[in-house]
Amino acid sequence: MKPYQQIPIAENHEPLVAIPRDRVAFVTPHPYEKLGAPYGDRSPFSLRQSVCDRLLAAQTCLQKQHPDWRILVFDAFRPVAVQDFMVEFSLKELAQERGLNPEDISLQQRQELLAWVHQFWAAPSLDPATPPPHSTGGAIDVTLVDDRGEEIDMGSPIDELSERSYPLHFASSTDPQKKAYHQRRELLFSIMRSSGFQRHPQEWWHFCFGEQMWAWLTREETGDRSIVARYGGILSVTP
């Protein structure tokens, strides 16, 4: 169990809503739907209402600094079935990268691979006490696009299973290009933080509000142990 999964959840039953398509940009076709992930009747471009409102506030903050830039939404709501699908997909990709046959690995090799995968992908739990962050509607994966609609280079792609994904990976670099990557990550961080989001400690692109990771990070930051999660898992998905 990860530390944030111990945070109590006081579900407030806020609705899941579609992210407005006229304010921010979207990765299309959606990368996980393209792979065949089972979303059923749910859209991956959905969030809890307050989280959606905060995303739009972050977009407004960005425009004050870069009037023609937009937040690019890679992924938002993710049913547990999709989480399971993507964990298995990522495990197979990682096995292949390490020269292993995903269909012929030992139990020990699988556990070693999963240990690395789970640094980036939450376990697909159906336990109401430990929902994956994206399955609550309170987590979102984002980056930025410039005035030409081109994605800003952050130094590593979203979902890369490597240390380059760590938000501060380039922080101490003296290389001009790597320093630029860090500055761009910090710009993204600053606009999301301005709207109350917390950032995943190991993913520069992952931000959250209202769910267990947000509550845990906010507790660690403020010392206020009364903070609890507002959002639990949304489990009902029609095939």
- Summarize the confidence of residues 73-82 as an average pLDDT: 97
Q: What is the pLDDT of residues 128-181, one digit of tens each?
A: 999 999 999 999 999 999 999 999 999 999 999 999 999 999 999 999 999 999
DSSP-H helix ranges across the chain: 31-35, 49-65, 80-97, 107-117, 176-193, 212-222
Hey, what are 58's tokens? Answer: 């972050």
How much is the pLDDT for 185? 98
Instruction: Indicate which residues carry an active-site annotation.
Output: 203
Is residue 182 scored above 70 in pLDDT? yes
The whole-angstrom separation of Cα 203 and Cα 222 is 21
Q: What domains, with CATH codes, occur in the chain?
A: 3-84+130-222 (3.30.1380.10)
How much is the pLDDT for 237? 47
Residue 188 CB contacts under 8 Å (≥ 6 apart), including other chains? 142, 143, 144, 154, 204, 205
Residue 62 CB contacts under 8 Å (≥ 6 apart), including other chains? 69, 70, 71, 144, 191
Q: What is the pLDDT of residues 22-72, one digit of tens each?
A: 999 999 999 999 999 999 999 999 999 999 999 999 999 999 999 999 999
Task: Indicate the pTM of the whole model.
Answer: 0.93
Is residue 236 scored above 60 in pLDDT? no
The SS3 call for residue 232 is coil
Q: What are phi and psi of 198, to 5 degrees?
A: -110, 155
Q: Which of 39, 65, 61 is nearest to 237 (CA)?
A: 39
How much is the pLDDT for 1? 83
Residue 218 CB contacts under 8 Å (≥ 6 apart), including other chains? 198, 224, 227
Q: What is the mean pLDDT of the chain?
A: 95
Cis amide leading into 29 (omega within 30): yes
Beta carbons of 210 and 231 less than 8 angstroms apart: yes
Is residue 77 scored above 70 in pLDDT? yes
The whole-angstrom separation of Cα 191 and Cα 58 is 5
The whole-angstrom separation of Cα 4 and Cα 221 is 13
How much is the pLDDT for 34? 95
